[in-house]
Structure 1
């Protein structure tokens, strides 16, 4: 198993609200897949400039730590909806300090429990957000912008194998959900 699943500057992602996480995982157990990690706790620190100018530009900056896997990421999303880049970092505290030195401030700290699975070239994350719900994200990353619509169709077909339809589609980001909840 390699991390080629997370390489590319574009991410095609479909997020679905799960009515039953256990039913979803039962369906997954019947499909050939690989496990990257299960039940990691992810802490996300979202940063913006005073006046929320990044938000106004449809951009997001996040430092993420994952335990017990020990993965630490610097994630930038936007301005296009499918634009997403992430890089591994070794010192999350230092990265956050650097952002603060440059004038950024933490606008949200959020936590979730995440499991990541690979089905063919796609990755599926199963997330639990306390007080918000359980979700499954079907995604693929690529540098080839011309493949975005093809991948979207393929992800929709994969989601259907789990009984997930447009009715369960969630278009809000986790950041938006946490902000609305007042986290």
Structure 2
């Protein structure tokens, strides 16, 4: 497993809604050289915000726990669309307590089944969210802000190998989709 795939303060990510997860995985397993990081982990995400001064200006704070891999992350996204930083943590319970001490509270809990694959410098996550469906996120993390558009074009080309097109792109974040679904 290469942690290099998850280093950088920018993330170029394209999320596609999958019509057929099995067809997507058949292409991956039959025609594309890849490495498996993990398969079918249960991810539990806790999104935090403040009651009085919401982070909704394009920012997001999340504590993520993954089982059975045991990975725990503190993730901050925004305010720019491609801005994303994550760090490994050892104690998610303490991290949640620290955020509550600072005045944050859990505003959304979300669970998904996630598999992660590496294809060259890119990573693909295949997700299932109850009530929302199946998705594939094509992504790369980088510190090189000048390369963001080039990487976006390369990700579109990679997605095309899976017969995914612009019509399949999901513009909303999982948080936005889940919030809308909960109403």
- TM-score, normalised with respect to structure 1: 0.98
Report how far residue 52 of structure 1 moved.
5.2
- TM-score, normalised with respect to structure 2: 0.98
2:31 maps to 1:33:
no
Report how far residue 53 of structure 1 moved.
1.7
Unaligned runs of 5+ in 1: none
* Structure-to-structure mapping, 1:1-183, within 5 angstroms: 1-29=1-29, 30-51=31-52, 53-55=54-56, 57-182=57-182
Report the secondary structure of 1:150's partner residue. helix
State the 4+ residue runs in structure 1 displaced beyond 2 angstroms.
Answer: none
Report the secondary structure of 1:53's partner residue. coil
Larger mean Cα displacement after TM superposition, 44-53 or 138-147: 44-53
Q: Number of residue pairs matched?
A: 182
Report how far residue 182 of structure 1 moved.
1.0
User: Could you report, residue by residue, the CA deviation over 1:117-148 in whole angstroms, capped at 9, with x for unpaired residues?
Assistant: 00010000000000100000000000000000
Q: Distance in 2 between matches of 1:120 and 1:103?
A: 41
Q: Distance in 2 between matches of 1:52 and 1:136?
A: 33
Unaligned runs of 5+ in 2: none
